Amino acid sequence: MQHFMPMHGVFRRSLLRVTVASGVLPLILLVGCGGGSTSSSSTSKSKQPQTYLAPYVVGTTNGSGSLLGQLTQTEIYAIDDTANAFSQSIFGLVSSVQGPQAINVGNVTTGQRGLLDLGITANYAPSGGIYVATDYSPAKSGSFALELAGQTGGLVQIVGQPVAPLVAASECPSLSKAETWQFITIPGGLIQSANSGAPGVWYPATDTAYGSVDISSSGSTITFNNIKQYTLPSVGGTGSPAVPATSPATGICGSTTSGYTIGVPGQAVIQDPGLGSATQPSATIGIGSTGLLVEDNGVISTGTSAGQYKDVLGAGTGAVGLPKPSSAVDVSAVRSTQYLGFVRGAGIYSPSSVGATGWSSHLASFGFSTAPSSCASVATSTSTLLYGGDFTNDDPSTSSNGFGNCDLAIDLGTQDSTNNGLFPNATVWLGTSYAANTTGKTYSFPAVAIAGQLNGKYAIFLIGVDSTEPWTIYLLQSN
């Protein structure tokens, strides 16, 4: 069933409509009208539902149209583990879409190994100047999420959209002494030459693939110092310095619709009412209580560089990072751990579609307690190799034990001797049965991985590139 309403001034009415159409707690109850206080005083952890910041990832759509044309927005998720409900919204900062705007709402079911099955009950999309709300009964399946303990962060993949990391920025960082984070880029679609103004692209020859940063705070001012950015290494080597960001960079932390987020160089300012009155930072960064870091890159809105992403840490459309471990990561323990996560192929930049084409994003599991015999056809086991795979037809309910196929492998390789948790010469294998492998043969490509712990649970984030597109893999230790 569809509902229609005028586009202009629709934002609050559409969010209110979520309550009527689906019975889901609307996001408008969670967010304000604009940038809030810049105080960095501690706040209690968010009550249910939890609000998450998620970066805009190229390929995200609402209905049939890409959101990239709106140029600037972060995503906001709310997951209520008590009411078993969720919502996905954007916060637009351009005149056509400004303020919180619902995209999808629905219900939540907990499956095997802690996987959350998100059933979409309503979608809200603009169409020909009219705002169209479509109800689904039964709920639309194929969307999944993972939450860290205490709802401090996680991963989400809405059906038809790429995976995005989630962070609950429940308070501003309190870091009187600088601490180090390692991060990888969230790449856009592959482009074959240096970026000439196209938004949401990634050029591996010069653009950041991974790096590190020292973060400290003084009141609401957050300093990003010693920003080190590198391209993907050549096989067996180390990465070259990437096109550098300004270091140090400073930002302001305060209460926003996405939590206590950091705007670099400063907080976004939203005047309400009045469309077209927004200013935005170059990037929005959230840091969770366990140390998970998520960056949404901003877009330059004026001048000759309008439309280009302005990165602080990652290139492409953002970055995701982990605190640098205080000692070398125990690779044996990492390999013996079971994970759930997502594998994303970022596709190729296509000027005709204003975004990326040929991208893919699939739920996956890694770390079998006993490796199936089919693993041997993917890669030969080593002391640093981890087997995994997707789920048949992207349907985890077909699995009797919560594990997917064995058609992927990650060999972490040697841990960097001076950077705990950094694996600069990792290798990824795609087996012939992996859903996004269209070559008809098993092949491998080089990658960089970071590994560490979030509240005592392992996490692995990886970026690589084959001859056709960038790849990212995000894994969280599962129940």
Three-state secondary structure readout of 395-450: CHHHCCCCCCCCCEEEECCCCCCCCCCEEEEEEEEECCCCCCCCCCCCEEEEEEEE
Is 82 in the same domain as 157?
A: yes
Q: Considering 273, 290, 323, which residue would you say is the last residue of a domain?
A: 323
Q: Considering 277, 303, 323, which residue would you say is the last residue of a domain?
A: 323
Is 381 in the same domain as 311?
A: no
pLDDT band at 267 (very low <50, low <70, confident <90, very high): low
Does some domain include residue 172?
A: no
Is 139 in the same domain as 14?
A: yes
Question: Which distant-in-sequence residues (6+ apart) come within 8 Å of 365 by Cβ?
Answer: 113, 338, 339, 340, 341, 388, 389, 391, 402, 403, 404, 478
pLDDT of residue 234: 74
Q: Which residue has the higher pLDDT, 303 or 375?
A: 375
Is 225 in the same domain as 155?
A: no
CA distance 462 to 321: 10
Q: Which residue has the higher pLDDT, 6 or 231?
A: 231
pLDDT of residue 283: 87
Phi, psi dihedral angles at 374 (to 5 degrees) = -65, -15
Query: Could you tell me if 315 and 227 are in contact, meaning their C-beta atoms sit under 8 angstroms apart?
Result: no
Does some domain include residue 357?
A: yes
3-state class (DSSP) for residue 241: strand
Q: Is the pLDDT of residue 64 over 90?
A: no
Is 149 in the same domain as 262?
A: no
Is 26 in the same domain as 97?
A: yes
pLDDT band at 182 (very low <50, low <70, confident <90, very high): very high
Lowest mean pLDDT among 84-93, 458-467, 470-479: 84-93
In what helix (H) or strand (E) does residue 134 lie, and over which residues does it extend? Answer: strand 130-147
pLDDT band at 240 (very low <50, low <70, confident <90, very high): confident
Does some domain include residue 173?
A: no
Q: Is the pLDDT of residue 2 over 80?
A: no
3-state class (DSSP) for residue 192: coil
Is 255 in the same domain as 318?
A: yes
pLDDT of residue 257: 85
- Residue 203 belongs to what domain range? 179-323
pLDDT band at 479 (very low <50, low <70, confident <90, very high): confident
Q: What is the DSSP letter of 286?
A: E
Is 360 in the same domain as 462?
A: yes
pLDDT of residue 37: 30
Does some domain include residue 158?
A: yes
Say if strands 201-202 and 189-190 run parallel, antiparallel, or are unpaired.
parallel
pTM score: 0.88
Is 193 in the same domain as 318?
A: yes
pLDDT of residue 31: 31
CA distance 7 to 29: 21
Does some domain include residue 8?
A: yes
| Number of independent structural domains in the chain | 3
Smallest Cα–Cα separation from 251: which of 35, 475, 24? 35
Q: Is the pLDDT of residue 319 over 80?
A: yes
Q: Which residue has the higher pLDDT, 130 or 44?
A: 130
CA distance 283 to 23: 34
Does some domain include residue 227?
A: yes
Average predicted confidence (pLDDT) for the chain: 82
pLDDT band at 66 (very low <50, low <70, confident <90, very high): low
Is 276 in the same domain as 243?
A: yes
